[in-house]
Amino acid sequence: MTRIGFLGCGQMGRAILSGLLAQGVVQAEQILVAAKSSAKQTAQQFEVKAVSPVDLLVEADEIFLGIKPYQLHHVEQWLKDSRVQTRLAQSKPLVMSMLAGTSFAQLRLAFNNLVTLIRLMPNLPAQVGHGLTLSCIDPQITEEEKATLVTRSRELLQPLGHVEELPKESDFHAATAISGCGPAYLFNVIESLADAGVHEGLPRALSLRLAAHTVLGSGHLACQEHPAVLKDRVTSPGGVTIAGVRILEQHGVRSAFFEAVIAASQRSRTLEKG
């Protein structure tokens, strides 16, 4: 029986855990959770087993690493336990890191090259099964091993929504600026649309539902056709929509999103350099 561990189990960890259990990918008895303050509460909520970080590293075959990036130094202390050293050396378990701004080089150093590594970046909509998870496999892994890991990681991550494999680690900066930060940009859009609806006399709850479902449906369409084609389909000559588009262009909305992604990407690079 494959044992799956959650070393640190915050919002994203619990979203993954919930999805895996809800879709029957794993059973509760396969799950181990080690978290600084919430392991017992999480274990009770999902009826899984709470253990210490050392015991998790000894027992788990596949590990979601969800501690804070500044806590990575704790791994060195855990590896001092002889049981951990022996287990990792023998089995080289899969560690799926969700640590933002933490490179493969930093992870290899922390784990003393004793684990198999994948970097992940889920986004907030993963909590409701409609997220996007970025995935990148350690380039030091052989092509044959990569194929197996892609299949396995997709199996584990698909309960969260769409999985996108990145060809190289450096793509994380721009990709995170879009998918990881993008929900914050779109929440601003939804809130602004809803506020405008209230200004025009709509009840707050109704206006918010209209805005949120409009963004939700538009995203599904944009996965099937180019957004420029879809935009042209909505904007009739001399119509209502093109009048609104003109105002967006006047205020540089497209440019603002463009610059937001660039700024977030650059900030990600700065954080990784420390």
- Asked if 22 and 15 touch (Cβ cutoff 8 Å), the reply is no
Residue 36 has pLDDT above 80, yes or no: no
Residues of the chain with pLDDT > 90, as a percent, come to 80
The strand order across the sheet containing 116-121 reads: 49-50, 31-34, 4-7, 62-65, 94-97, 116-121, 131-137, 161-165
What CATH number should be reported for the domain whose range is 4-168?
Answer: 3.40.50.720
Residue 226 has pLDDT above 90, yes or no: yes
* pTM, entire model: 0.90
58-70 tens-digit pLDDT:
999 999 999 999 9
Enumerate residues 6+ apart whose C-beta is below 8 A from 170: none
Residue 25 has pLDDT above 90, yes or no: no
124-143 tens-digit pLDDT:
898 888 999 999 999 999 88
Confidence of residue 24 (pLDDT cuts 50, 70, 90): confident
d(CA 97, CA 120): 6
d(CA 121, CA 93): 20
Residue 219 has pLDDT above 90, yes or no: yes
Residues of the chain with pLDDT > 70, as a percent, come to 100
- The residue extents of the domains of the chain are 4-168, 180-273
Q: Comparing C-alpha atoms, which of 94, 75, 70, 99 is closest to residue 85?
A: 75
Rg (CA), the chain: 22
Find out if CATH 1.10.3730.10 is the number for domain 180-273. Answer: yes
